[in-house]
Structure 1
Amino acid sequence: MPRLVVEADGGSRGNPGPAGYGAVVLDPETGETLAERAEYIGVATNNVAEYRGLIAGLKAARELDAEAAVEVRMDSKLVVEQMSGRWKIKHPDMKPLAAEAAAVLPRGRVTYEWIPRERNRHADRLANEAMDAGRDGRQWEPSASAAALDASAARTLATPPPSGPPGDAAAGAAAVRAALAASPAAAGASAATAAATAPATAGPASAVLPAPAAEGGPAPAEGSPAAGAPKAGRGWGPADLGPPSTFVLLRHGETALTPQKRFSGSGGSDPELSAAGRRQAYAVAEALAARGTVQTVVSSPLRRCRETAQAVADRLGLRVTVEEGLREVDFGAWEGLTFGEVQQRYPDDLQAWLDSPKAAPTGGGESFAAATRRISAARDRLLAAHRGRTVLLVTHVTPVKILVRLALGAPPESLFRMELAAASLSAVAYYGDGNASVRLLNDTSHLR
């Protein structure tokens, strides 16, 4: 049976924002480019653009040879896992796109493989060309450089994928795999507290945070989801890109509400640290001082974070900068309630919130989708301001989880599959080409 390779990608400069896709059909033996497809699709999300790229690539392969077996290679973990049947498709925007992709060719003749972003450069280039064309008000046309990429494509096909993340990423990656492999919490406190305030019983073994990087690292690559922003979840940055910008993510210490597992966001009271929370802040300050990696301290505007951040900054001899975008989600009418109380009073609203990132808590709360846009914008501002540096972000459960989720390219439901203890440390490194690498998740070794 003849074989073809389809490589596809999509992107959105804003997520959602101006979006486009690219797809290329390759000869699996020679790496020769057999067909290219790209299109500007207007305002859409990264995931929608990626699915549209997949559909275009499959249709192009069918036009070339309707009887061929097709190997699809994409750097979107979401699309690969969903089309392979290993991840359930819950988002209403993804279901019809996945169904359309599945109908292009018989299921038994299409296989899916995840590849790092650096091995998907051809499709990524096409997607960016399409977005540039849309920005300029014109239709995408194949570039004159397409033929020159054939040799590069051949080399890419011959290059095996990396066996795992380089260097000290292994410890953090193991923790992330464990967190995302965990089953969703049973009905009750676990699901809500994973997105709100519940502490975990233990964290991963102690890991060394990345060494501080020199100032003046490379700027994020052109064509990222937002201007100057990383395209989340695209593998690991190559060593020759220079030092990454590293965000050390610290959840604030305990307040009186934390042990009670009550929703505590930005829409209710602004509690101070409890005595236990202050002890936790001092403990993490000592641990970070011993590691000697943090160069800048940035905090959510809420009191519990500012108190935690100040304890660390005082120990490190740094000052605290406040970033409004790092605040916790507003839980609306659920503020101060336990999961059980919310379940009794607002059962339909709670179920909708658990099912869809677009659903907001009762009474004008903030949805996870809205929070993701806000936190992504804050991330982009901080990356632009602190290139190549190690920055401590003192924030809350939801911002930490969203930053980790975006770095992994994981689906929204993964927010309910990560547990973060009070005063726990996580870390994400962002490279100059837009790649992100999760280095650490829920480290509480400094609290023992």
Structure 2
Amino acid sequence: MIIYADGGSRGNPGIAGSGTVVYAADGRTALRDIVYVVGKRATNNVAEYHGMLRGLEAARDLGARSVEVHMDSKLVVEQMSGRWKIKHPDMQKLAMEARRLMDNFESVTFTWVPRGRNEVADALSNQAMDAAAKGHEPGIVGGTSVPESAPSSEAPDEHRGADDCEIVATTQSTSGTPAHWTGATTPPTRFVLLRHGQTEMSAAKQYSGLSDPVLTDIGAGQAAAAAQMLASRGGIDAIVTSPLTRCVQTARAAAEVLGLEVEIIDGLIEQDFGEWEGRTFDEAHAMSPHLHEEWLSNPTITPPGGESLQQLHNRVRAVRRDLEQRYRCRTVLVVSHVTPIKSFIRQALDAGPHVVSRMFLDLASLSVVEFFGEEARVGSTLRVFNDTAHLR
């Protein structure tokens, strides 16, 4: 389907409204037009975002599989295409909402058009502003073929229940996602795994388990870059983090741009390296060559005074299961350390401990794993591993 959308405000900020037309693939057959009151004090750009959102909602309800969005707003087109950063908090939230809606389609493209080619949507947005001036509350106030109950633009409840997962599954496209071969009938619970940014200990290549160094300036920049990338993609529903400062700093950088709170979970803390803490690989090996060598290949071996890989895996698995229950069918940003993140990935791969030593995770890297419902033939997948494109 093809969407033409526009929005405007009289005063900027002022009374604002949006207009949207959804066409069939031929670009001529109008399937729905929407007149939407944004509010009495909103900016032109916010109104334009609402026009786009109403179009995506309508296309979803009409069963579209792919969508072309045409707008005369260069800002919205470039931001939603990922080429411009989204700095305004109001638009960040609207962009996140749009990303959630985009998950319902196989593909969504955004194209800028001159105002003269967007006259119908522009006229509808003026109708919406007229309605706002007359005192209409925010919401759909006109158009054709509008459903009796328009989809809400409010953010979803913090914890979606199982029944809501089933509802989402009836509209969510499965083509191009693992669902078409896993046999899943509900959306997965997705974990976006973010390693913390650089510290002085990581720069020195020291074992850094329960030590609590802060981020360096480089590390803070890495955290900010990861946060901006996450904001441009949207779709994060919750943020959890290890209690150690380097992770909390990284998590808060993301929370600031995503508009979310940060939950600290002790079980996401790094492995306790015991007497090897603060040592480099070579220094730890020199301290106890046989034990260090055995520790690298045996997950049950414990560093002197520390914690074994299997002990860590057991506690991280308990955290993952709790989060999966609490945030079923949602997306959770998990900010942690190398070994807990490797444990999440190991669980997604349903693999033995041997895979841990065969993974390398860069500072501030992103990985994504998904866990499906019990009905799925394949219970989990690894979608992204060690992505550092945002740091280049």
For normalisation by structure 2, the TM-score amounts to 0.54
What is the match of residue 424 of structure 1? 365
Secondary structure of the residue that 1:285 maps to in structure 2? helix
What is the match of residue 265 of structure 1? 209
More strand by share: 2
User: Equivalences for 1:155-170 in 2 at 5 Å?
Assistant: none
Distance 1:369 1:210, change over 3 A: farther
User: Equivalences for 1:45-194 in 2 at 5 Å?
Assistant: none
Larger-gyration structure (1/2): 2
Partner Cα distance (1:210, 1:425) in 2: 23
**Equivalent residue for 2:232, pick from 269, 273, 290:** 290
Partner Cα distance (2:328, 2:221) in 1: 32
Deviation, 1:298, is: 0.5
**Equivalent residue for 1:244, pick from 160, 174, 188:** 188
Q: Is it true that 1:278 corresponds to 2:220 in the alignment?
A: yes
Secondary structure of the residue that 1:374 maps to in structure 2? helix
User: Equivalences for 1:192-271 in 2 at 5 Å?
Assistant: 215-217=160-162, 237-239=182-184, 241-266=185-210, 269-271=211-213
- For residue 303 of structure 1, what is the amino acid of its counterpart? T
Partner Cα distance (1:389, 1:406) in 2: 18
Secondary structure of the residue that 1:369 maps to in structure 2? helix
Deviation, 1:217, is: 4.3
Deviation, 1:407, is: 1.2
**Equivalent residue for 2:243, pick from 282, 294, 301:** 301
Partner Cα distance (1:366, 1:210) in 2: 43
State whether residues 197 and 246 of structure 2, in contact with CA within 8 Å, keep that contact through their aligned partners in structure 1: yes
Deviation, 1:237, is: 3.3
State whether residues 218 and 387 of structure 1, in contact with CA within 8 Å, keep that contact through their aligned partners in structure 2: no
Superimposed CA distance per residue, residues 149-199 of structure 1 (whole angstroms, 9 cap, x where no aligned partner):
xxxxxxxxxxxxxxxxxxxxxxxxxxxxxxxxxxxxxxxxxxxxxxxxxxx
Distance 1:389 1:211, change over 3 A: farther
Deviation, 1:219, is: 11
Secondary structure of the residue that 1:383 maps to in structure 2? helix
Distance 1:218 1:356, change over 3 A: farther
Distance 1:296 1:342, change over 3 A: same
- For residue 270 of structure 2, what is the amino acid of its counterpart? E
Partner Cα distance (1:336, 1:236) in 2: 45
What is the match of residue 266 of structure 2? 324
Partner Cα distance (1:257, 1:210) in 2: 41
- What CA RMSD, in Å, does the superposition of the two structures yield over aligned residues? 2.5
Superimposed CA distance per residue, residues 315-365 of structure 1 (whole angstroms, 9 cap, x where no aligned partner):
111110011111100000000000000111111210120121000112x21
Deviation, 1:236, is: 5.9
RCO (CA 8 Å, sep 6+): is it higher in 1 or 2? 1
Secondary structure of the residue that 1:270 maps to in structure 2? coil
- For residue 348 of structure 1, what is the amino acid of its counterpart? H
State whether residues 249 and 392 of structure 1, in contact with CA within 8 Å, keep that contact through their aligned partners in structure 2: yes
What is the match of residue 51 of structure 2? none
Superimposed CA distance per residue, residues 285-311 of structure 1 (whole angstroms, 9 cap, x where no aligned partner):
100000012111100111100000001
Superimposed CA distance per residue, residues 362-400 of structure 1 (whole angstroms, 9 cap, x where no aligned partner):
2x2110111111000011111111111100000010011
- For residue 265 of structure 1, what is the amino acid of its counterpart? G
Partner Cα distance (1:276, 1:369) in 2: 32
Distance 1:419 1:291, change over 3 A: same
State whether residues 358 and 367 of structure 1, in contact with CA within 8 Å, keep that contact through their aligned partners in structure 2: yes
Partner Cα distance (2:191, 2:387) in 1: 14
What is the match of residue 310 of structure 2? 369
**Equivalent residue for 1:315, pick from 257, 268, 280:** 257
- For residue 354 of structure 2, what is the amino acid of its counterpart? E
**Equivalent residue for 1:405, pick from 346, 349, 367:** 346
What is the match of residue 286 of structure 2? 344
Deviation, 1:411, is: 2.1
User: Equivalences for 1:6-45 in 2 at 5 Å?
Assistant: none
- For residue 315 of structure 1, what is the amino acid of its counterpart? V
Deviation, 1:410, is: 1.9
State whether residues 313 and 320 of structure 1, in contact with CA within 8 Å, keep that contact through their aligned partners in structure 2: yes
Q: Unaligned 5+ residue runs, structure 1? A: 1-207, 221-234
Distance 1:277 1:417, change over 3 A: same
- For residue 335 of structure 1, what is the amino acid of its counterpart? E
State whether residues 100 and 234 of structure 2, in contact with CA within 8 Å, keep that contact through their aligned partners in structure 1: no
- For residue 430 of structure 1, what is the amino acid of its counterpart? F
Distance 1:350 1:210, change over 3 A: farther
Tell me the matched-pair count: 224
Q: Unaligned 5+ residue runs, structure 2? A: 1-98, 105-155, 166-179
Partner Cα distance (2:222, 2:318) in 1: 29
Seq. identity, %:
45
Superimposed CA distance per residue, residues 47-81 of structure 1 (whole angstroms, 9 cap, x where no aligned partner):
xxxxxxxxxxxxxxxxxxxxxxxxxxxxxxxxxxx
Distance 1:250 1:414, change over 3 A: same
For normalisation by structure 1, the TM-score amounts to 0.48
What is the match of residue 69 of structure 1? none
- For residue 391 of structure 2, what is the amino acid of its counterpart? L
Deviation, 1:270, is: 0.5
